[in-house]
Amino acid sequence: MSIGIPQIRAFIAVSDTASFSAAAAQLGISQSAVSHAIASLERATGRQVLIRGNPVRPTLLGERLLVHARMVMASMTSMEDLAHHHDSGLRGNLVLAAPPTVCHGLLPGLLDRWRVEFPGISISLFEGDDDEVTGWLTGASADLAVVVDPAGTPPGAVLLAEDRFHAVLRTDHPLAESGAVDVTDLEDDPFLLSLGGCERHIQELQRSSGARLNAVHRVRQLGTLFAMVRAGIGVSIVPGLAAGMEGPDLVLVPLVQRISRELILTGPRNRPWHPATGALLASVEQQRAA
C-alpha cells in the first residue's frame, strides 16, 4: 500500500496540533476522515506512527517520518504555487524563521516592503534561537530563514545585515555615557552570558581582547537578561539589533572591539526553494545594491 498526500497532510496536522479534533478543524474535514487517514498511513508503514493520548504525539518512527512528510508537503506546495505563478504572478504562503533580535530590528520594515511589492505572498514568522531557526529550515517547517554566521551559503542567499555587538549597562554605570566600551573594562563586573547564539561571539571577544569576563549567570531570554541588568545583578553583551528591547534605565554602548555577526537570508540547502523565496531574496539584494 502506498502513502498518499491525504495521509501525509493528516499526519502533519495531528502532529502539529497534538489532537485529532484540532487537526480535523485545521484541515476542514471530519475527525473520522483524519482517523481513517492515520490508520491508512499506519497500515502502509506496518507500524504505529502516533501515540494516542492527551496530547497525541509521534512515536519514534513517527518523528523520523515527520521530517520527510514536511519536505513532501513543502515540495507539493511549491509545485502548486509554481503552476499557479505561470499564469497569475507570484503567490504562496511562506514561513520565515529568524532570531528574536532580527525579528525586532529588521523584519518589521522588510515584511512591510514585501507586503507592498509581493501582494500575492503571505508570510508567517517563526521566532527562535539560532539552532531552532536552522532546524526549522532543514526540517521543512520554514521556507526561508535568517541564519547567523553560516558555514557557507547556498546560491541565491543574501547578506541581510552585519550586526555589531554592544555592552548592556545600567544608566548609572560609570561607563554608561562612554562613546565605546573596551571589553577589558567589564572584567570587574559580574557578567551575564546571553545564550541562544551569542556565546561564540563573546568567546571570540575574550580571545581577541584578553579579557576575563566573570560569567555568574547564563541567560537564554533577552527579557530576563535585561531585567537582571536593570536589577544590578551584572552587565552583559548583546547584538546591536537588541536596541529598543532593553527598556528603561538601561543603555547599549558600542564595544571598542568591533566584532559583529553576519545575518544571512537564505532558503534551504536540502531541497528546492519555493518559487517565491528566490524572488524575495532577489528583492533584498536589489535593495542593498541601490
Q: Is residue 73 part of a domain?
A: yes
Q: Is residue 155 part of a domain?
A: no
Say how far apart CA 140 and CA 72 lie, in whole Å: 9
Q: How confident is the model at residue 248 (pLDDT cuts 50, 70, 90)?
A: very high
If one counts the domains in the chain, the total is 2
Task: Please give the pLDDT value at position 84.
Answer: 58
Domain shared by 167 and 256, yes or no: yes
| Helices (H), ranges, the chain | 5-17, 20-27, 31-45, 60-88, 100-105, 107-117, 130-138, 199-209, 222-230, 275-289
Q: How confident is the model at residue 264 (pLDDT cuts 50, 70, 90)?
A: very high
Q: Is residue 124 part of a domain?
A: no
Residue 271 CB coordination number (10 Å): 17
Say how far apart CA 214 and CA 182 lie, in whole Å: 15
Nearest partner of 144 among 43, 271, 289, judged by Cα: 271
- The values of phi and psi at residue 191, to 5°, are -110, 135
Q: Is residue 101 part of a domain?
A: no
User: What is the mean pLDDT of the segment spanning 52-78?
Assistant: 87
How many Cα atoms within 13 Å fall on the side-chain side of residue 207?
Answer: 7
Percentage of residues of the chain with pLDDT beyond 70: 95
Residue 16 structural domain:
1-89
pLDDT tens-digit map of 149-201? 988 777 789 999 999 999 999 999 999 999 999 999 999 999 999 887 788 89
Task: Please give the pLDDT value at position 245.
Answer: 94
Say how far apart CA 236 and CA 169 lie, in whole Å: 7
pLDDT tens-digit map of 19-59? 999 999 998 889 898 998 899 899 889 999 999 999 999 99
Q: Is residue 289 part of a domain?
A: no
Q: How confident is the model at residue 77 (pLDDT cuts 50, 70, 90)?
A: confident
Q: Is residue 239 part of a domain?
A: yes
Q: Identify the domain boundary among 40, 60, 89.
A: 89
CATH code of the domain in which 59 resides:
1.10.10.10
Q: Identify the domain boundary among 89, 105, 134.
A: 89
259's CB contacts (< 8 A; 6+ apart) are 164, 165, 201, 204, 205, 208
Q: CB-based burial of residue 57 (10 Å sphere; 0-12 exposed, 13-18 middle, 19+ buried)?
A: middle
Residue positions counted in the chain: 290
Task: Please give the pLDDT value at position 198.
Answer: 84
User: What is the mean pLDDT of the segment spanning 240-253?
Assistant: 95
Q: How confident is the model at residue 72 (pLDDT cuts 50, 70, 90)?
A: confident
Q: Is residue 287 part of a domain?
A: no
Domain shared by 81 and 168, yes or no: no
- pLDDT surpassing 60 at residue 88: no
Nearest partner of 195 among 263, 125, 103, 130, judged by Cα: 130
User: What is the mean pLDDT of the segment spanning 65-86?
Assistant: 74
Q: Identify the domain boundary among 48, 68, 89.
A: 89
The answer to whether 82 touches 112, Cβ cutoff 8 Å, is no
Nearest partner of 217 among 243, 175, 189, 241, judged by Cα: 189
Q: Is residue 44 part of a domain?
A: yes
